[in-house]
Amino acid sequence: MSTNHNFFAPFADDDRADAAEKVTGRAKFTAEHALPNLAYGLFVCSTIAKGTVTKINESDALKAPGVLDVISFQNCPAVPGYSPAKGAFEWSGLKTLYDNKVRFYGQPVALVVADSFENATAALNLVKVTYEKEAHETDFEKNRKIETALKPAGNYKRGTEKAYKTAPVFIEAEYKTPIEVHSPMEMHATIAIWDGDDKLTVYDKTQGPKSTQGTLAKTFNIPQKNVRVITEYVGGAFGNGLRSWLHVPAACIAAKKLNRPVKVLLTRPQMFSLVGYRPQSWQKIGIGADKTGKFIGISHSAISNTSRYEDFREGIVDVSKFLYACDNVDTDYKMLPLDLSTPTWMRGPGEVTGCYALESAIDELSYQLKMDPIELRIKNFTDINPENKLPWSAKNLLDCYETGKTKIGWKNRSAQPGKIKENGWLIGYGMGGGVFGAGKGAASVRLLLKEDGSIVLQSAVSDMGPGTSTSMVKVAAETMQMPIYKIKFSLGDSDYPPGPSQGGSGTTSTLGSAVNLVCETLKQALKELAIQQVPAFKNLTVADIDIKNETLFSTKESNAKVGIVELMKLSGKPLIEITKDSGGATPEMRKYAINSFSVHFVKVRVHAKTGEVQLQHVVTTGDAGKIISENTARSQMLGGVVGGIGMALKEELTINHETGEIANASLGTYHLPLHTDIPQIDVWFVNKPDPIVNSIGAKGVGEISLIGFAAAVTNAVYNATGKRVRDLPITAEKLGFKKV
* Residues at the interface with ligand MOS (CB under 6 A): 207, 238-239, 242, 345-347, 349, 503-504
Nearest distance from C-beta of residue 29 to ligand MOS, angstroms? 17
Nearest distance from C-beta of residue 702 to ligand MOS, angstroms? 6
The Cα diameter of the chain in Å comes to: 88
Residue 354 and residue 298 in contact, taking contact as beta carbons nearer than 8 Å? no
Residue 127 and residue 69 in contact, taking contact as beta carbons nearer than 8 Å? no
Chain residue whose CB lies nearest ligand MOS? 239
Q: Of 132, 317, 62, 92, which is closest to residue 214 (Cα–Cα)? A: 92
Nearest distance from C-beta of residue 438 to ligand MOS, angstroms? 12
Helices (H) and strands (E) in the chain, counts: 14, 29
* Non-local CB neighbours of 92 within 8 Å, separated by 6+ positions: 310
CA–CA dist 74, 56 (Å, integer): 8
Catalytic residue (choose from 364, 528, 703, 733): 703
| CB closer to ligand MOS out of 207 and 719 | 207
| CB closer to ligand MOS out of 300 and 347 | 347
- Please confirm whether the linkage preceding 729 is cis (ω < 30° from 0): yes
Q: Of 454, 461, 512, which is closest to residue 485 (Cα–Cα)? A: 454
Nearest distance from C-beta of residue 257 to ligand MOS, angstroms? 32
| CB closer to ligand MOS out of 107 and 207 | 207
CA distances from 369 to 168, 326, 355, 723 (A): 10, 17, 20, 17
Q: Of 731, 497, 475, which is closest to residue 625 (Cα–Cα)? A: 475
Nearest distance from C-beta of residue 608 to ligand MOS, angstroms? 38
Q: Of 81, 121, 82, 114, which is closest to residue 98 (Cα–Cα)? A: 82
118 is catalytic: no
| CB closer to ligand MOS out of 321 and 347 | 347
Side-chain half-sphere exposure of 483, counting CA atoms within 13 A: 12
DSSP-assigned letters across all residues of 40-60? EEEEEE-SSSSEEEEEEE-HH
Nearest distance from C-beta of residue 232 to ligand MOS, angstroms? 18
| CB closer to ligand MOS out of 288 and 503 | 503
Nearest distance from C-beta of residue 120 to ligand MOS, angstroms? 30
CA distances from 668 to 20, 241, 644, 663, 671 (A): 30, 23, 19, 11, 7
| CB closer to ligand MOS out of 81 and 500 | 500
- 123: number of Cβ within 10 Å: 25
| CB closer to ligand MOS out of 317 and 562 | 317
CA–CA dist 344, 96 (Å, integer): 18
Catalytic residues: 703
